[in-house]
């Protein structure tokens, strides 16, 4: 009888890939773990996580993970989509997982289609909520760059879900996660990392809770000091509109919008950005939007939660001073 | 070097999005269609390889006759030949299966697709084509150089970029950065005239069952009106962000 129950658990387990960076779990890992727990509850089963070179696997227990397949392998120090996809595939097969959950990080989105083909799994990306139905298996995802939601049915036996960032949230759900060393075979990499160039001292747009973004209204790159200062006060990442990156005022890596980076922060502050439909599409997943603009007719005012009509060159420095005073009181 | 650029036919980025048939279908009525911007960046890079390194460049899409103007535009930009797989594009997987067959039969060294299409945002077709054709794959490509059968690729990562090396056969998921916006080409009259004479081959689809099905669509809830704060009362803005929105 006991064996039978274990067997059922094994068959139904939900597998989640929990990403780490320098051994530490990323916030998205905790979010996908929380999501996996909710799906496991729907299916009446347990959550198994697979982690690669993470140091504190027991942390995942706080978010509902029952078991961690813990991979330690120096070959996997740098991300490699093919190898990582293969490791997750082997973990899914070992657990006989029917639902596999990953994040929407740039790396997870890279490995997802390889994993989907490997598992013959239908893949739904940018999923924003727990499945609305588990039979037929149906999830809600964003489409048309946040201009719409799609109800997407996954028809395959194994389902792969990419959870959109900052939509489900992180929930504590104490379980005692057991850790099991897992030594999958490592395939040919095919692609070799030669060098990595990241600004380690800056908050990235992907991880930021707050993003401060500047547009053409700022008139030139020499005026970005106040954007950077505001971002610093708030612990925010800096971003910019498409024209600003096309003009070369700011690097492309800061361009947010439909053809740039997507933003799904808690707070998005737009300064001197009129709010073209392509820009709004890319930042719409942010929860709260604030706009500073001289033009009361700027379309951004229709998309924002809070707005200030005024000259950024006067208002933003004042806002920075007031925020500093506010932060000092906290 | 034989290059295949995968083109998706998508609504122009300024389009308002509407649905018909009980919100089950995208309403193409009055919508202007364009080459998916992520694909156009890749196509433009392919033109560079054609001009500087003697590559041949074919373009392919999956769809009915209605997508042909988009393929003709790619020919007008400078592609040598176009292929249309004659079936309705249902999900990312079936599209990838169709493209994989074209890749295998055409013996392409380098396949360039956009990191995602701006309609369904699935972000899966390039990777699936790579997996189905057992090619190397680099996504989020923001720079691509080729030397013989080896490639050096810049890839966007969270908070920066990395340089990777790989070799043919190779599939690229491209985006802005593989070329700059200012490098994009508007077809000229000569290009448009020549495009009419270039081959556009229609091929039959292979059997493929969709792994996912689009059931219905909904639009985000209409936004409430903005709360305006006077520039002379920024304390109020801080108060609202702290106590009402709870984001600072």
ipTM given for this complex: 0.96
Q: Say if residue A218 is in the same domain as residue A109.
A: no
The answer on pLDDT for A207 being more than 90 is: no
* Residues A43 and A162 grouped into a single domain: yes
Point out the residue among A116, A267, A306 whose CB comes nearest to the CB of B124: A116
Task: Specify whether the CB–CB gap between B161 and B174 falls below 8 A.
Answer: no
Q: Which of A119, A150, A202, A275 is best to mutate for the B interface (most B CBs within 10 A)?
A: A150
Q: Which residues of chain B lie closer than 8 angstroms to A318, CB-CB? A: 231, 234
Residues of B in contact with A301 (CB under 8 A): 226, 228
Residues of A in contact with B163 (CB under 8 A): 193-195, 197
Assess B213–A contact: CB distance below 8 Å, yes or no: yes
CATH of the domain at A29: 3.40.50.620
User: B229 — contact with chain A (CB < 8 Å)?
Assistant: yes
Q: How far B183 CA lies from chain A's nearest CA (Å)? A: 11
Q: What confidence score (pLDDT) does residue A2 get?
A: 47
State the first-to-last Cα distance of chain A, in angstroms, to the nearest integer: 57
Helix/strand/coil (H, E, C) string of B159-207?
CEEEEEEEECCEEEEECCCCCCHHHCCCCCHHHHHHHHHCCEEEECCCC
What is the residue whose two structure tokens read 């911007």? Answer: B37
Written as one string, the DSSP assignment of A204-257 is: -TTT-SEEEEE-GGG-SGGGTHHHHHHHHHHTPEEEE-HHHHHTTSS-GGGBBS
Q: Does residue A7 register a pLDDT over 70? A: no
pLDDT at A247: 94
Cβ neighbours, 10 Å, residue A140: 21
Pair A24, A136 in one domain: yes
- Across the interface, whether the CB atoms of B158 and A106 are under 8 A apart is answered yes
The set of residues, in sequence order, having a beta carbon less than 8 Å from that of B189 and lying 6+ positions away, is: none
Interface test with A, best of B92, B143, B211, B223 (most A CBs within 10 A): B211
Cβ–Cβ below 8 Å for A121 and B158: no
Do residues A219 and A300 both lie within one domain?
yes
The pLDDT value given to residue A101: 98
Interchain pair B162, A193: CB under 8 A: yes
Tell me whether residue A220 is in a domain: yes
Q: Does some domain include residue A197?
A: no
CA-nearest of B121, B47, B186, B182 to A150 is: B121
Pick A190's closest partner by Cβ from B136, B218, B231.
Answer: B136
Instruction: List the single best residue of A80, A108, A113 to mutate versus B (max B Cβ within 10 A).
Output: A113
Q: The tokens of B79 are what?
A: 């592609």
Contact residues, chain A, for B213 at CB < 8 Å: 152-153, 155
β-bridge pairing A288-293 and B160-167? unpaired
Side-chain half-sphere exposure of B48, counting CA atoms within 13 A = 17
Nearest 5°: CA angle at A261, between B229 and A207?
75
Task: Identify the helix (H) or strand (E) that includes residue A163.
Answer: strand A159-163
- A185-202: pLDDT as tens digits: 999 999 999 999 987 778
Asked if residue A218 belongs to a domain, the reply is yes
The superfamily in CATH containing domain B2-215 is HUPs (3.40.50.620)
Residue pair A214/A313 in contact by the 8 Å Cβ criterion: no
Signed CA dihedral, A245, B16, A144, B153: sign only: negative
pLDDT score for A11: 54
Assess whether A234 and A113 both reside in one domain. no
How do B136-147 and B170-174 pair as beta strands?
A: parallel
CATH of the domain at A217: 3.40.50.1220
- B110 interfacial to chain A (CB closer than 8 Å): no
DSSP A169: -
Measure in Å the smallest separation between the Cα of A216 and chain B Cα atoms. Answer: 16
> What φ, ψ does residue A17 adopt, rounded to 5°?
-95, 115
Question: CA A7 to CA A115: how far, in whole Å?
Answer: 25
The partner residues of B214 in beta bridges, in order of sequence, read A152
Each residue of A297-330: pLDDT tens digit? 999 999 999 999 999 999 999 999 999 999 999 8
Are residues A163 and A240 both part of a single domain? no
Gap from B51 CA to chain A (nearest CA, Å): 24
Chain A CB contacts of B248 below 8 Å: 210, 234, 267, 323, 326
Q: Does B24 touch chain A (CB under 8 A)?
A: no
* Residue B92 tokens, joined: 């990312």
Residue A1 has pLDDT above 50, yes or no: no
CB-nearest to B176 from A112, A260, A309 is: A260
For chain B, 248 residues long, give each residue's pLDDT as a single digit of tens.
Answer: 999 999 999 999 888 899 999 999 999 999 999 999 999 999 999 999 999 999 999 999 999 999 999 999 999 999 999 999 999 999 999 999 999 999 999 999 999 999 999 999 999 999 999 999 999 999 999 999 999 999 999 999 988 899 999 999 999 999 999 999 999 999 999 999 999 999 999 999 999 999 999 999 999 988 889 999 999 999 999 999 999 999 99
Q: Quick one: average pLDDT of A119-145?
A: 97
The Cα B99–Cα B113 span in angstroms is 11
- For A125, name the nearest residue in chain B, comparing CA atoms only: B122
In this complex, do B226 and A301 lie within 8 Å of one another by their Cβ atoms? yes
Per-residue burial over A211-241, b if 16 or more Cβ lie within 10 Å, else e, is bbbbbbbbeeeebbebbebbbebbebbbbbb
Q: Do A113 and B242 touch (CB under 8 A)?
A: no
Whole-structure pTM value: 0.94
**C-beta atoms of B160 and A252 within 8 A:** no
Mean pLDDT computed over A83-108: 97
Q: Which domain holds residue A75?
A: 2-181
Would residue A96 count as lying in a domain? yes
Work out whether strand A67-71 and strand A47-52 pair parallel, antiparallel, or are unpaired. Answer: parallel
> What's the total number of domains in chain A?
2
Is A5 a residue whose pLDDT tops 50? no
Please check whether residues A288 and A170 belong to one and the same domain. no
pLDDT digits (tens, 9 = 90+) for A275-300: 999 999 999 999 999 999 999 999 99
Tell me how far CA of residue B103 lies from CA of A28, A203, A315, B53, B76, in angstroms. Answer: 35, 40, 56, 21, 22
User: Chains A and B: how many Cβ contacts under 8 Å?
Assistant: 262
Position B221 scores a pLDDT of 87
**A29 located within any domain:** yes
Q: Is residue A107 a part of any domain in this protein?
A: yes
A270 vs A291: CA distance, rounded Å: 5
Q: Are residues A253 and A141 in the same domain?
A: no
Structural domain boundaries in chain B: 2-215
**Using CA atoms, how far apart are residues A73 and A86, in angstroms rounded to an integer?**
14
Neighbour-count burial of A143, counting CB atoms closer than 10 A to its CB (0-12 exposed, 13-18 middle, 19+ buried):
buried
Closest residue of A to B183, CA-based? Answer: A246
Within 8 A of A111 by CB-CB distance, chain B residues are: 127
Sign of the CA dihedral with A61 first, then A64, A66, and A69 last: negative
Within a domain: A191: no
Find the residue in A nearest to B238 (Cα).
A323
Domain-embedded: residue A205: no
* Alpha carbon separation from B242 to A211, A234, B224 (Å, rounded): 16, 12, 19
Same domain, residue pair A175 and A231? no
Q: Give start and end residues of each alpha helix (H) in chain A.
A: 2-12, 27-43, 81-95, 106-119, 225-234, 242-246, 277-283, 300-303, 312-329
**Closest residue in A to B174 (Cα–Cα):** A259
């Amino acid at each position: 009888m006991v064996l039978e129950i274990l067997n059922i658990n094994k068959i139904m387990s939900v597998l989640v890939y929990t990403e780490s960076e320098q051994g530490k779990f990323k916030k998205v890992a905790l979010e996908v773990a929380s999501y996996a727990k909710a799906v496991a509850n729907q299916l009446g089963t347990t959550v198994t996580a697979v982690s690669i070179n993470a140091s504190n696997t027991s942390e995942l227990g706080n978010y509902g993970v029952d078991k961690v397949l813990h991979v330690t392998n120096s070959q996997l120090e740098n991300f490699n989509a093919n190898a990582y996809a293969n490791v997750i595939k082997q973990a899914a097969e070992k657990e006989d997982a029917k639902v596999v959950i990953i994040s929407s990080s740039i790396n997870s989105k890279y490995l997802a289609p390889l994993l989907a083909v490997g598992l013959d799994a239908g893949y739904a990306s940018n999923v924003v909520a727990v499945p609305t139905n588990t039979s037929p298996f149906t999830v809600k995802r964003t489409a048309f760059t946040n201009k719409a939601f799609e109800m997407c049915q996954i028809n395959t036996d194994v389902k792969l879900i990419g959870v959109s960032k900052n939509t489900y949230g992180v929930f504590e759900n104490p379980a005692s996660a057991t850790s099991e060393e897992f030594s999958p075979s490592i395939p040919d990499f095919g692609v070799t990392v030669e060098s990595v160039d990241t600004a380690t001292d800056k908050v990235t747009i992907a991880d930021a809770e707050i993003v401060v973004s500047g547009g053409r209204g700022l008139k030139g790159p020499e005026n970005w000091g106040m954007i950077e200062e505001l971002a610093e006060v708030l612990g925010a990442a800096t971003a910019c509109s498409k024209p600003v990156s096309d003009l070369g005022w700011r690097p492309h890596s800061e361009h947010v919008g439909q053809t740039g980076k997507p933003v799904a922060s808690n707070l998005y502050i737009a300064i001197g950005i009129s709010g073209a439909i392509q820009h709004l599409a890319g930042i719409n997943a942010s929860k709260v939007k604030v706009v500073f603009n001289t033009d009361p007719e700027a379309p951004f005012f229709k998309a924002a939660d809070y707005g200030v009509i005024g000259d950024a060159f006067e208002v933003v420095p004042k806002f920075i001073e007031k925020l500093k005073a506010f932060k000092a009181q906290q | 070097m034989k290059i295949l650029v995968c083109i998706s036919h998508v609504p122009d980025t300024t389009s308002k999005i509407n649905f018909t048939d009980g919100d089950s279908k995208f309403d193409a009525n009055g919508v202007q269609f364009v080459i998916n911007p992520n694909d156009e960046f890749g196509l433009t890079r392919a033109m560079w390889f054609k001009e500087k390194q003697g590559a041949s460049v074919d373009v392919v899409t999956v769809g009915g006759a209605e997508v042909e103007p988009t393929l003709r535009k790619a020919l007008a930009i400078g592609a040598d030949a176009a292929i249309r797989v004659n079936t309705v594009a249902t999900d990312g997987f079936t599209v990838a299966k169709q493209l994989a067959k074209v890749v295998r039969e055409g013996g392409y060294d380098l396949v360039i697709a956009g990191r995602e299409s701006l309609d369904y945002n699935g972000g899966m077709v390039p990777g699936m084509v790579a997996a189905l054709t057992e090619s190397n794959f680099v996504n989020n490509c923001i720079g691509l150089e080729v030397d013989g059968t080896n490639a050096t690729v810049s890839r966007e990562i969270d908070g920066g970029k990395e340089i990777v090396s790989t070799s043919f056969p190779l599939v690229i998921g491209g985006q802005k950065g593989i070329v700059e916006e200012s490098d994009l080409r508007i077809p000229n009259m000569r290009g448009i005239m020549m495009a009419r004479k270039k081959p556009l081959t229609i091929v039959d689809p292979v059997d493929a069952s969709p792994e996912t099905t689009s059931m219905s669509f909904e639009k985000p809830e209409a936004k409430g009106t903005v709360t305006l704060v006077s520039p002379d009362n920024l304390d109020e803005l801080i108060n609202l962000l702290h106590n009402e929105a709870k984001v600072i």
